[in-house]
Amino acid sequence: MGFRFRLASFFVVALVLVQVLTGVLVYQVTRHELIGEGQRQLQGASQSFAHQFQDMSERAAASVKVLAQDFALRSAVAQGDEATVVSALRNHGRRVGAAQMLLVGVDGSVEADTAQQLRKGAPFPYPDLVDRALQDPTVATVAWQGRAYWMVVVPVFAPDLVGYIGAAIPVDDRVLIRLQQQSALPKGIELVAMHAGGGVTVLARGSEHGELAVPLAARGPLPIRPAVVDIGGRQFVSQAVWLGGSRQSARIAAVLGFSVDDALRPYRPVAAAWAGLLALGLIIGLVCAWLIARSVSRPVEALAAHARRIASGDYSAPDAPRRNDELGQLASAFANMTDAIREREARILHQAGHDLVTGLPNRAHAEIAIQHALAARPQASAALLMLGLGRLPEIIKTLGHVVSDRLMVAAGARLQDSAGTGLIARATDTQLSIFLPDATLSGAQVVAGHIVEVLGEPYREADLTLDFAPAVGIALAPEHGTDAGALLRRAEVAMIGALRGDDPIVVYDAATDPHRPERLSLMGDLRHALEHDGMQLHYQAKLNLQEGRIDSAEGLIRWRHPVAGPVAPDAFIALAEETGNIRRVTRWALAAGVAQAARWKAEGHAIRVSINVSARDLDDAELPRRIIGLLDTYGVAPEQIALEITESAIMGKPEAAISVLRRLADAGIDLAIDDFGVGQSSFAYLRRLPVRELKIDKTFVTQLARVREDRLIVGSIVELGHRLGYRVTAEGVDDAEALACLRNIGCDHAQGYLIAEPMPVDSFGYLLDAHWPQAAALEH
């Protein structure tokens, strides 16, 4: 949408909103007031209906009472002349409008029925009306045979009580219409019977044959005060008036109501007139808004077109007309801005592609240039050299960036002769890249040798003499990559290898690249394996040298990748450490180990299970609570579980780690120091650690039977451990001579391939069932 259209639309929308909001407000206020007035009128109409209905019923009762005082009728009743009684009742019933006349005996049984519907001697349907008739003629509205009646009961005396006359006077649609004609009652009136089971029967309706009572009753109790209800998507104001009746009849109510929509119908012409005025106002407003917008938008549109030309690189003068107002000043400012942008863009483009210190192309510029060169000749050989200055990080920390920048300038200047036609760029603060098109491996190695040679001469400045310590990584196209990004990354990987190794020139080797894409995939696969039971615990037995039996095992995690097959533990454990998933690995191993200890206990094997814990786990203050929860869940005693930790795991945050270990030890869980003897501060922390077991590293055990110094070290560790009250376990026991030496030294446990390799649970079960006698174990 253009500016002109938006400006015109703004005026039109504002006008529409004002008109619509005003209309909605008027409608809502009118509707609210109309409903309120309707409720007040309905309240008065309900009271008027109740009074008129009561008056009509009382008049009907008075007419029947006159009949009961007729001498001939009383005589016929007293003498039992049934024919005379029926004839008199029929004649008088026609005069009072009764549909049925009854003679009821003193005992409450029917003695005569003009309609011949009730047999002689049958009980009168409404005995409670008979009981009340002795004091005063009784009239009640009842539902009888699917219709509404005024049931009038009056006593007959001759001179004593000889019976009762009952008159059933219909209350039908004509009665309701007559009531509506006599006073201002709503057109919607219904007479309904409410049954005990919740059913509703419409007995009579007024002049408007709506169906209000049935859906209203389905919503709940009938409202005894005016209420607004939604029925069938329409709103009604309704009220129920309960009528006096008999206990033996369903309750009778008159439901009065009117439709809100019908009440609003007279206002529709007003709404139509309002809509017409709104349409006329919109047309006038649209024309005026368009004329105003046109005069304002033309110069703005011209300036907008000029701005689009600037965005596309066209810096010609704007076409806006010359004016003396604010728009003319804006056009002049646009022209000045165009000249300034032209100058700044040229400067920015150069700065964006070059390093400010050395003046060399930067990494982004070099990557684009390399990509273009590779795309132009996709099958041609090329080489990318990444030069790293090993001493530069130390120089930055010691002398600052000012000196290091001068060092980089000097390095770039020296490379100009060695690189020939190659593209030299500054890749990072401490690295330079050299792209050699059409270069082979041998040619790249020659250039790399020249670079190392020219940078072998120290940099001298005043009293400073600084070594460059150059290292060059080489990546080849297309062998190591066909795009600039891959070559830069792989050349950098090779350069890092050169900085860490002895050879200053290293060619990229995918087999030694720790940042291969498959490692990223392996991270996701590791999480999936943890969540879907893709890991296993294998168990390596630990032989009790004093008792000659297997009494414990170390749980070692194993992972068989569904595609790559078995993954070495060192690979995925290190990956878990790097990605922060090692705690999830440990939680899984703890749960699996505790569960297996519980199963072995149930099978009668008292096997203590050891689980390895990493340095990150010792940072977790919730680790003791989690392990205790697992023990409680599986019913495993704390002494059946041991946790193995390395000294390096404690060195990172010793205070936090020791606090966690003390809580574990207080809970009765044994702790063992793994790989004891190779740490840097074994004895410094040994006295502070709440451990119960030392595990001698296998480097001292492998040559134990042949190297005297190893026997002395192992003997000293065993003696030290026993004096401190620790158990001592030797790892890496692979030959019988080492096992015999350990037994003679007094070592407590031995673990290694001689005894058993790590094996699945089922295989370990067979090993336990063999019971391993001491002699056989030592001779095997």
Using alpha carbons only, give the angle 456, 462, 466 rounded to the nearest 5 degrees. 30
Peptide linkage before 123 cis (omega within 30 of 0) = no
Answer whether residue 517 shows pLDDT above 90.
Answer: no
pLDDT given at position 776: 47
| β-strands 608-612, 565-567 pairing | unpaired
Among residues 579, 591, 489, 586, which one has the least CA distance to residue 525?
A: 579
| β-strands 161-170, 100-104 pairing | antiparallel
The stretches of 69-125 forming alpha helices (DSSP H) are 71-79, 82-96
515 to 44, 510, 567: CA distances (angstroms):
88, 9, 17
| β-strands 549-561, 565-567 pairing | antiparallel
Using alpha carbons only, give the angle 179, 185, 187 rounded to the nearest 5 degrees. 95
- C-alpha 431/C-alpha 375 separation (Å) is 25
- For tokens 């193995």, the residue is 644
The pLDDT tens digits for 272-298 are 887 787 778 777 777 777 776 666 666
Q: Which residues contact 777 (CB under 8 A, 6 or more apart)?
A: 543, 548, 549, 755
The pLDDT tens digits for 711-749 are 999 999 999 999 989 999 999 999 999 999 999 999 999
* CATH code linked to domain 36-282: 3.30.450.20
DSSP summary character for residue 676: E
pLDDT-derived band at 681 (thresholds 50, 70, 90) equals very low
The pLDDT tens digits for 440-465 are 998 889 888 988 888 888 888 877 88
- Selected from 3.30.1330.60, 3.40.50.10680, 3.40.1350.10, 3.30.70.270, the CATH number assigned to the domain covering 363-512 reads 3.30.70.270
Answer whether residue 310 shows pLDDT above 90.
Answer: no
Percent of the chain residues past pLDDT 90, beyond the cut: 19
SS3 610: strand
DSSP 297-342: HHHHHHHHHHHHHHHTT--PPP-PPP-SSHHHHHHHHHHHHHHHHH
Q: Tell me how far the alpha carbon of residue 331 is from its chain's centroid.
A: 53
Report domain extents, the chain: 36-282, 315-353, 363-512, 519-779
- Which helix (H) or strand (E) segment holds residue 154: the answer is strand 147-157
58 to 141, 152, 305, 361: CA distances (angstroms):
11, 9, 92, 112
Answer whether residue 620 shows pLDDT above 90.
Answer: no
Q: How big, in percent rounded to 5, are the helix, strand and coil portions of the chain?
A: 50, 20, 25
pLDDT given at position 355: 83
Among residues 619, 564, 596, 632, which one has the least CA distance to residue 761?
A: 596
- Token pair, residue 575, equals 């990956």
pLDDT-derived band at 693 (thresholds 50, 70, 90) equals very high
Strand partners, 201: 193
Q: How many CB atoms lie within 10 A of CB 66?
A: 12
Q: Tell me how far the alpha carbon of residue 340 is from its chain's centroid.
A: 51
Q: Tell me how far the alpha carbon of residue 370 is from its chain's centroid.
A: 45
- C-alpha 715/C-alpha 227 separation (Å) is 98
pLDDT given at position 779: 46
Q: Which residues contact 114 (CB under 8 A, 6 or more apart)?
A: 86, 89, 90, 93, 100, 101, 102
Please answer whether residues 282 and 15 qualify as being in contact, where contact means their C-beta atoms are separated by less than 8 angstroms.
yes
Q: Which residues contact 590 (CB under 8 A, 6 or more apart)?
A: 611, 626, 627, 630
Q: What distance, in Å, lies between the first and last C-alpha atoms of the chain?
A: 91
Evaluate the CA torsion angle 554, 540, 574, 697 in order and state its sign: positive
pLDDT given at position 633: 94
Strand partners, 134: none
Using alpha carbons only, give the angle 17, 23, 26 rounded to the nearest 5 degrees. 135
pLDDT given at position 684: 63
pLDDT given at position 676: 83
Residues in the chain: 780
- C-alpha 331/C-alpha 306 separation (Å) is 10
Residue type, 147: R
pLDDT given at position 268: 74
Q: How many CB atoms lie within 10 A of CB 544?
A: 18
- C-alpha 298/C-alpha 4 separation (Å) is 8
Dihedrals phi, psi of 376, to nearest 5 degrees: -70, -35
SS3 641: strand
CATH class of 519-779: alpha beta
- Token pair, residue 576, equals 């878990």
- C-alpha 273/C-alpha 269 separation (Å) is 6
Query: Count of H helices and E strands in the chain?
Result: 26, 26
| pLDDT mean across residues, the chain | 83
pLDDT given at position 778: 47
Residue type, 47: Q
Answer whether residue 648 shows pLDDT above 80.
Answer: no
Mean pLDDT over 477-499 rounds to 88
600 to 207, 604, 607, 772: CA distances (angstroms):
89, 6, 7, 17
DSSP summary character for residue 244: -
3-state secondary structure 490-557: HHHHHHHHHHHCCCCEEECCHHHCCCCHHHHHHHHHHHHHHHCCCEEEEEEEEEECCCCEEEEEEEEE
Evaluate the CA torsion angle 345, 350, 356, 361 in order and state its sign: positive
Gyration radius (Cα) of the chain, Å: 53
Answer whether residue 317 shows pLDDT above 70.
Answer: no
pLDDT-derived band at 327 (thresholds 50, 70, 90) equals low
The pLDDT tens digits for 577-612 are 767 788 889 999 999 999 999 999 998 888 999 999
The pLDDT tens digits for 167-212 are 888 988 888 888 777 777 777 788 888 887 777 888 888 766 567 7
pLDDT given at position 278: 74
- Which helix (H) or strand (E) segment holds residue 137: the answer is none
- C-alpha 686/C-alpha 76 separation (Å) is 126
SS3 662: helix
pLDDT given at position 668: 93
The pLDDT tens digits for 552-568 are 999 999 988 888 788 88
DSSP 345-380: HHHHHHHHHB-TTT-SBBHHHHHHHHHHHHHHSTTS
pLDDT given at position 76: 83
Residue type, 538: H
Answer whether residue 514 shows pLDDT above 90.
Answer: no
Answer whether residue 219 shows pLDDT above 50.
Answer: yes
pLDDT given at position 777: 47
DSSP summary character for residue 123: B
Answer whether residue 511 shows pLDDT above 70.
Answer: no
Long-range contacts of 199-202 (CB under 8 A, 24+ apart): 201/143, 201/146, 201/250
Please answer whether residues 103 and 153 qualify as being in contact, where contact means their C-beta atoms are separated by less than 8 angstroms.
no
Among residues 585, 565, 561, 566, which one has the least CA distance to residue 575?
A: 585
Residue type, 675: D
Q: Which residues contact 568 (CB under 8 A, 6 or more apart)?
A: none
- C-alpha 681/C-alpha 678 separation (Å) is 9
The pLDDT tens digits for 13-44 are 777 788 778 778 877 787 777 777 777 877 78
- For tokens 């000249």, the residue is 339
- C-alpha 596/C-alpha 589 separation (Å) is 10
Q: Which residues contact 668 (CB under 8 A, 6 or more apart)?
A: 637, 638, 639
